[in-house]
Amino acid sequence: MKRMIILGAGTAGTMMANHLRHHLNKSEWEIDIIDEREEHHYQPGYLFLPFDMYEPEDITKPIRDFIPGGVNLLNEQIDRIVPQEQYVHMKNGDRLHYDILIIATGAKIAPEETEGMLGKEWQKSVFDFYTFEGSLALRNKLREWEGGKLVVHITEMPIKCPVAPLEFAFLADSYFKHKNLRDKVDITFVTPLSGAFTKPKATNALQHLLDEKHIKIESDFAIESIDNENKTIVDYGGRVVPFDLLVTVPTNKGDELIARSGMGDDLNYVPTHKATLQSKNWPNIFVLGDATDIAASKAGSVAHFEAEILTDNIMHYIAGEPLKEEFDGHANCFVETGNGKALLIDFNYTHEPVEGTFPFPGVGPLRLLKESRINHMGKLAFRWIYWNMLLKGTHIPFVSTTMQEAGKSFD
């Protein structure tokens, strides 16, 4: 009997467990999936929780509900991986031998990386919304906040769901309008990038929305520290931005387990071949989702496309065949723009988001890079798709694994 071990039962790991149990012969392969947590969180929901659009129970379910029969779920803490010996060492002293290892341990916030972020204002006037606890604490703060300077801030790239901070600013504009407080709230978006986004066409579309919603932008801002006394953020060039309420996205890092195993880069991401998803250092280790160092978005849609390609590649690997260099960096993200509207972006390593129609070229019904109500309905419907199709590894109809060029307006 051979053993496949999957580390992490988040979006990526759960999808791999479902795909592989379906593809691998049960009499030949045991599949174990390890995660110390008991609850699976629908992370896109962290964006909606602060604005009372979702309730906590909408976004958390037991991990066990999504792990298929024939896969062992180990609810234990992992100490480290010893790739030279093909062992995973557990905190309780157990050692598990693997033939193939899949790393899907994700990324998380590291507020301790920025001086003053975990100071006395943390969760009083300085909040994150990339954790369940942070998002819930922020909801409670927003319910009673009476206005002032709201600063929405990105510490450094890369971060999970790179459009989420912008969406937060748009939704805040809409939220305060509905509360008749908008004239008492000054919103500033502070980013280390040179503009609203990294890709030129999307940056133009998003900058236009920022202007329309009277959201100021401070770009090229590399934060040095948070001054808790004066309630300001300060950058290395000496620029200072004051806040009454700071909503920050701290530095994101891969899991500490990767550092303990000596397998990561300076942010604990695992060096991974960008087209095959095989580890660069160990042929029998594969990596997907937020845990990799590849230059694709850290997002559930990316993990979904990766999982389909990685499943094929693991089957090739087992059969002793060459791996397919197929992953193209495909990402597909709804961007909430407030007031019941959203836009949609679809892009990959080489093609930036442009205008067009999706998923049917020339038809839609979703519009790329344009605000619409139906895009917003798509984003809301996605929660159902996530729990009922995506995690189970069901192919999403009409959405191809690699990016389609048809239906898009490239220059």
Partner 1 sequence: MEKVIAGATIHVNEEGYLTDFSQWDKQIGTELAREADIDMTPRHWEVIAYLQGEFKNEVPLSIRKIGKSGVVDIKEFYQLFPMAPLKTASKIAGIPKPVSCI
Kindly give the pairing relationship between strand 185-190 and strand 216-218.
parallel
| Cα–Cα distance for residue pair 66/18, rounded to 1 Å | 8
Interaction of residue 193 with partner 1, rule CB under 8 A: yes
Q: Which residues partner with 331 through β-bridges?
A: 347
User: Smallest distance, Å, CB 163 to partner 1?
Assistant: 8
| Cα–Cα distance for residue pair 354/408, rounded to 1 Å | 6
Cβ–Cβ < 8 Å for 226, 89: no
Which range touches partner 1 (CB under 8 A), out of 120-128, 152-160, 376-384, 392-400? 152-160
Interaction of residue 295 with partner 1, rule CB under 8 A: yes
Coil, strand or helix at 136? helix
Kindly give the pairing relationship between strand 126-127 and strand 245-249.
parallel
Coil, strand or helix at 311? helix
User: Smallest distance, Å, CB 236 to partner 1?
Assistant: 4
User: Smallest distance, Å, CB 347 to partner 1?
Assistant: 8
Could you tell me the two tokens for 182? 């908008």
Interface residue with partner 1 among 58, 224, 244, 256 (CB under 8 A) is 224
Cβ–Cβ < 8 Å for 105, 8: yes
Per-residue b or e along 122-157, where b marks 16 or more CB atoms closer than 10 Å to that residue's CB: beebbbbbbbbebbebbbebbeebeeeebbbbbbbe
Q: Integer distance in angstroms from the first to the last C-alpha of the chain? A: 54
User: Smallest distance, Å, CB 295 to partner 1?
Assistant: 4
Q: How far is CA 144 from the centre of its chain?
A: 29
| Cα–Cα distance for residue pair 197/163, rounded to 1 Å | 8
Which range touches partner 1 (CB under 8 A), out of 90-98, 291-299, 304-312, 402-410? 291-299
Which range touches partner 1 (CB under 8 A), out of 34-42, 178-186, 233-241, 382-390? 233-241
Considering the complex, state which of residue 145 and residue 347 has its C-beta at the smaller distance from partner 1: 347
Which range touches partner 1 (CB under 8 A), out of 88-96, 101-109, 125-133, 196-204? 196-204
E strands of 196-268, at which residues? 216-218, 223-227, 232-235, 240-242, 245-249, 252-254
Interaction of residue 362 with partner 1, rule CB under 8 A: no
User: Smallest distance, Å, CB 313 to partner 1?
Assistant: 22
H-state helical runs in 221-279:
256-260
Interface residue with partner 1 among 69, 93, 237, 397 (CB under 8 A) is 237
Considering the complex, state which of residue 16 and residue 166 has its C-beta at the smaller distance from partner 1: 166
Query: What x/- string results for residues 302 through 331 when contact with partner 1 is judged by CB under 8 A?
Result: -----------------------------x
Considering the complex, state which of residue 236 and residue 384 has its C-beta at the smaller distance from partner 1: 236
Interaction of residue 53 with partner 1, rule CB under 8 A: no
Interaction of residue 297 with partner 1, rule CB under 8 A: yes
User: Smallest distance, Å, CB 191 to partner 1?
Assistant: 10
Interface residue with partner 1 among 57, 183, 229, 266 (CB under 8 A) is 266
Q: Which residues partner with 81 through β-bridges?
A: 88
User: Smallest distance, Å, CB 62 to partner 1?
Assistant: 32
- The dihedrals phi and psi of 184, each to the nearest 5 degrees, come to -100, 0
Interaction of residue 236 with partner 1, rule CB under 8 A: yes
Cβ neighbours for 140, distance < 8 A, ≥ 6 positions apart? none
99: nearest Cα among 318, 322, 320, 324:
318
Cβ neighbours for 290, distance < 8 A, ≥ 6 positions apart? 12, 106, 107, 160, 252, 254, 298, 303
Cβ–Cβ < 8 Å for 386, 300: yes
Which range touches partner 1 (CB under 8 A), out of 9-17, 64-72, 151-159, 174-182? 151-159
Interaction of residue 275 with partner 1, rule CB under 8 A: no
Considering the complex, state which of residue 182 and residue 304 has its C-beta at the smaller distance from partner 1: 304
User: Smallest distance, Å, CB 180 to partner 1?
Assistant: 35
Interaction of residue 165 with partner 1, rule CB under 8 A: no
Interaction of residue 79 with partner 1, rule CB under 8 A: no
Chain contacts with partner 1 (rule: CB under 8 A) = 156-158, 162, 192-194, 197-199, 220, 222, 224, 236-238, 266-267, 295-297, 331
